[in-house]
Structure 1
Amino acid sequence: MSWESVKKHFDDHNIPNEIILLKESSATVELAAKALGREPGEIAKSLALRLKDGRIIILVVCGTARIDNRKFKETFQCKAQMLSHDETLVLTGHPVGGVCPFALPDNITVYLDESLKRYEVVYPAAGTANSAVRFTIEELVTATKGSWVSITQTN
């Protein structure tokens, strides 16, 4: 999939946010922050994870956040297990560097970490390693139908 699949998803679900196509890579938090002229924390990092029961989830955290293994295990009753590079594209429809909480298969649940609430606006990827989209926190909740969790380390 690509930014076009995210655009179609936005059109189908009446999400008015415009996708930002960048000339440079935004595949990492640092690259995205530089390309967008934003702070790293404002980048909404989407992590593709497998739970012990086999379910796939997308966890969206602020760009500077790190998973707290104890909190993750308390919330999901297992250790965090990232999908492999190849699995990420096959299971989410998005490549590593472009994973986002939009245009996902129906069996994937989105979780939003409390770390995002530090910012009024965040920038998740939009299906490619050179795209992003601007969302207020309220818009992100509505667009992803994500559930709030608190599983990152607090600074």
Structure 2
Amino acid sequence: MSFEVVEAFLKERGLGARIHRLEASSATVPLAAKAIGCREEQIAKTLTFLLNEEPLIVVCAGNVKIQNAKFKATFGAKAKLIPAPLVQRLVGHEVGGVCPFAVLPGVPIYFDVSLEGKDLIYPAAGDDHSMVALSLEELTAYVAPRGFIDVCTPMAPS
């Protein structure tokens, strides 16, 4: 159901042609990058946290991870991921398809600065077999994040 909601959201904004339905899973950054044919840093990873028992979303590049010290300095509390069974109820999307589009009302969304400097980025589009290709300017215009923050650090090469 989440894909259909996001698809409608994107189509209402003239972005329907930018949605990619994938044969392969896009549930993780490596799978998504392989499925769409881009670098991992171009995947827009949407992370869900509980802050004072309320949901919060951070969208960051696929090649970074949350740095607890930066998160705590920004939000005043340690980063605490929403348990998988609660994600859909708290933000409106299932794990694997969490994206910054059509989330439940009142859920604050922030963009990490790691998204900057990329021509195209690929957030999920509501399920684990869909993505949408957007510029950061487009993503910012359609999501209207509360702001850009610096809470991530590069992942160690694997």
Q: C-alpha root-mean-square deviation of aligned residues, in Å?
A: 1.4
Corresponding residue for 2:72? Answer: 73
1:15 Cα deviation from its structure 2 partner: 4.6
Distance in structure 1 (CA, Å) of the matches to 2:151 and 2:82: 18
SS at match of 2:4: helix
- In the alignment, structure 1 residue 150 sits paired with structure 2 residue 123: no
Structure 1 gap ranges (5+): none
- Give the structure-1-normalised TM-score: 0.93
Q: Percent identity?
A: 39
Q: Distance in 2 between matches of 1:118 and 1:49?
A: 25
What pairs up with 1:1-155 in 2 under 5 angstroms? 1-12=1-12, 14-17=13-16, 18-51=18-51, 53-146=52-145, 147-154=147-154
Query: What SS does structure 1 have at the residue aligned with 2:47?
Result: strand
For structure 2, the residue ranges without an aligned partner over 5 or more in a row are: none
| Separation (CA, whole Å) in 1 of partners of 2:25 and 2:116 | 26
In 2: Cα distance, 1:55 partner to 1:120 partner: 33
Contact 2:48 2:81 in 1 (8 A): yes
**Cα deviations across residues 37-95 of structure 1 (Å, max 9, x unaligned)?**
000110000001110x2221110000001111111001000011111111011111211
Aligned partner of residue 98 in structure 1, secondary structure: coil
Q: How many equivalent pairs are there?
A: 153
